A and B are shown apart, each in its own frame.
Chain A
Amino acid sequence: MPAGTAEGGVLVPITTLASYSVQRLEVLDSEGTVDKSLMPEVSADDIRGLYRLMVETRALDVRMLKLQRQGRLGTFPQVLGQEAAHIGAASACRPADWIVPAFRESGVYLMRGVPMVSLLQYWGGDERGALVPEGARLLPVSIPVGSHMMHAVGLAWAMKRDGEDAAALTFFGDGATSAGDFHEAMNLAAVFRAPVVFVCQNNHWAISIPVRRQTATDTIAQKAVAYGMPGIQVDGNDVFAMHRAVKEGLERALAGGGPTFIEAFTYRMSDHTTSDDAKRYRPPEELEVWSARDPLSRLAAYMKLNGLLDEAEEAAFGEEADEKVAEAVAAYEALDPPPPDEVFAHLYDELPPDLAAQQTALLSRVRTGV
């Protein structure tokens, strides 16, 4: 009998078993002013480092788009507008923490020591660019949506079992929250109290589907409640808020508190990938609104207000980033094409005889041209 109905003349009371609230964290406003009580502990050097990385990430992204349009690079997903969300999040990690990205986090690769030329090489269709530096604790780009999330859970479980003082951070988008794997990863992490921080980059669009068609909930953050883990919405264009929220999540994880879910409220200012045309489905006024919330200009405004950046330095950061990108592009375009045996190089520890025969056939075809 449902609660609240009469049973033998006695009213069964309705009781509240659970209730929830959803919090949002903002530290830095669009004028560059911070709420000092919420400002994370970051040094002036840290801030300059974050700014430099965000500028470089954008410079690379902008240049990659031009290269792609000129036929000098393959299809790739731009990160324009999401620099604070993923760089701010990853900046809270220590080198021992595993990072499990999706595919729109190029700043994370740069942060972990992947050279720009490798990113160009990878998105240019040469898989050798996917090799991350040894010990970087960083997984390669994962194209299928959401299914990489449980890898972070497994890595976290292993670190916990090994008694390591480290956790895992994984990125995914708002579209991933509709996939069953999101549920399985969140649930597994919570059940095993795995030290994971889940960062959903809610960039409001999964190709052409707006977030309101992706979920019927008011926020994505509230989904955490159903898994028994803390969840929070964070201004994803605020690098300080992202840093702070992820740092808290990592600290909770290391203290044995299990996983944390963070909705990074941000915006995809680009198309989905270079093969997409957002003009087909996206109202142009939306882009104007979000341009005013640009994560880079916001951080620059803060730095100027606090004597960390002047006009000349701002220009210098930009020029240095452009030079670095130009050097990487030159190095990328000077690379030899991948040798055909790369097709077989990393299939198994040892190539089985029938595959070795297929490799021989390919190499002979390449050599003889028939």
Chain B
Amino acid sequence: MARLNMVEAVNQALAQEMERDAKVVVMGEDVGRDGGVFRVTDGLIDRFGEDRVLDTPLCESGIVGMAIGMAIAGYRPVVEIQFSGFAYPAYDQLVCHASRMRNRSRGRYTVPLVVRMPFGGGIRALEHHSESMEAIFVHVPGLKVIIPSNPYEAKGLLAAAIRDPDPVVFMEPKRVYRAVRMEVPEESYVVPLGECRVAREGADVTLISWGAHVRTAGEAAERLAADHGIEAEVIDVRTLSPFDEGTVAESVAKTGRAVVVAEAPRTGGFASEIAARLMDRVILRLEAPVRRVTGFDAIPPLGRLEDYYQPDVDVVVKETIDTMEF
């Protein structure tokens, strides 16, 4: 089995879905000849031609709006927004149209659209290139929000997103793009949307995360086991919307403790939503408050201060021990 990084895995998913379904088209800024600024769409234009890999003018709202029309007409557009920090002009189209067309038309029209966007920090990038704003998409009824944590997940989740009949925001943790290689099956497969994944089993505490910080949580779990004799269960949320609260609640019912790890700002973030859902579901099983290890309610700093903003293994270990000792 080939060992792929996330860029290659996403590229393979796009190519296989385009192969499988002639209605799948890729579009966005620089996705054609250039292969995308992260090279995720590399080579697709040579295989599938300019009619299926559309280099568009620079207009995020227009790109997603046009893709909505294409989707209504039976296409399955996969839009690349270059960085999630530039998705806000297109947020209008996602909130006002993509998410609502099925509802507005009483089921007459659907929008099978995927909007991919690299997000999150950790690569010492410019302003607007490091945000983790998944909560603003989760808050929109009618959208689905997917965040893969590794190459295997990315390939299967993207295939599922492209085949899904509803609009999906697919946020790719750019920090993971080339940081990890793992075995990824060559053949096409689907990781179903709407299901969390137990990435590591453990009985003492549940670490819940998504995207790049599933790895942070996993490394923290190994250290907690080795140095402190604490066995942490790690859950990869994968699908933030719709959220599989059952899997998370079941784990926390077992462990009695939960730490949510995310790099997004804390207030109004998805970590808070998970904490609230755990209150609803398992409050009598909790041995300690649900702890949120998140970014600050601050604008992500540029590279020199970035490490202070991002949760890391040390802080996850410390906060988990605090939770154990509560």
Contact = CB atoms under 8 A, between A and B. Distances in A.
Contacts of B165: 349
Interface in A122-154: 127-128, 130-132, 134, 139-142, 144, 147-154
A184 interface: yes
Interface stretch (A66-74, A311-319, A328-336, A340-348): A340-348
B122 to A, nearest CB: 30
Given A130-B106, A139-B105, A346-B102, A191 B75 contact: no
A147 B97 CA distance: 8
Contact of A188 (B51, B59, B74, B97): B59
Interface residues of B, number: 46
Interface stretch (B174-182, B219-227, B241-249): B241-249
A181 B69 CA distance: 14
Contacts of A346: 102-103, 105-107
B107 A155 contact: no
B41 interface: no
B242 to A, nearest CB: 3
Contacts of B69: 100, 150-158, 168
A187 B105 contact: no
Given A151-B68, A153-B69, A184-B65, A355 B242 contact: yes
A132 B101 CA distance: 13
A352 interface: yes
A184 B62 contact: yes
Contacts of A134: 108
A353 interface: yes
Contacts of B56: 188, 191
Contacts of A181: 61-62, 65, 92
Interface in B223-280: 242-246
Contacts of B71: 154
B242 A154 contact: no
A347 B142 contact: yes
B166 interface: yes
Contact of A348 (B73, B102, B244): B102
Contacts of A352: 194, 242
Interface in B30-82: 51, 54, 56-57, 59, 61-63, 65-75, 77
A350 B187 CA distance: 27
A166 to B, nearest CB: 10
Main SS at interface, chain A: helix
Interface in B70-120: 70-75, 77, 89, 92-93, 96-97, 102-110
Given A148-B97, A185-B62, A158 B75 contact: yes
Contact of B70 (A132, A155, A185): A155
Contacts of A128: 106
Contacts of B166: 348-349
A142 B62 CA distance: 16
Contacts of B62: 150, 153, 181, 184-185, 187-188
B141 interface: yes
A354 interface: yes
A159 interface: yes
Interface centre among A154, A180, A354 (most CB of B within 10 A): A154
B67 A180 contact: no
A144 B92 contact: yes
Interface centre among A131, A134, A151, A353 (most CB of B within 10 A): A151
A132 B108 contact: yes
Contacts of A349: 102, 110, 164-166
A161 interface: yes
B106 A157 contact: no
Contact of B105 (A140, A156, A157, A184): A140
A109 to B, nearest CB: 13
Contact of A131 (B93, B106, B141): B106
Contacts of B74: 158
Nearest to B193: A352
Nearest to B194: A352
Given A151-B72, A154-B71, A345 B107 contact: yes
Contacts of A151: 65-66, 68-69, 72, 97
Nearest to A133: B108
Interface string A285-324: 0000000000000000000000000000000000000000
- The 5 lowest CB-CB distance pairs between A and B, nearest first, are A154-B69, A150-B65, A352-B242, A184-B62, A158-B73
Given A131-B108, A139-B109, 13 more contacts: A147-B93, A148-B65, A151-B72, A154-B69, A155-B69, A158-B69, A158-B75, A161-B51, A184-B57, A188-B56, A188-B57, A188-B66, A354-B242
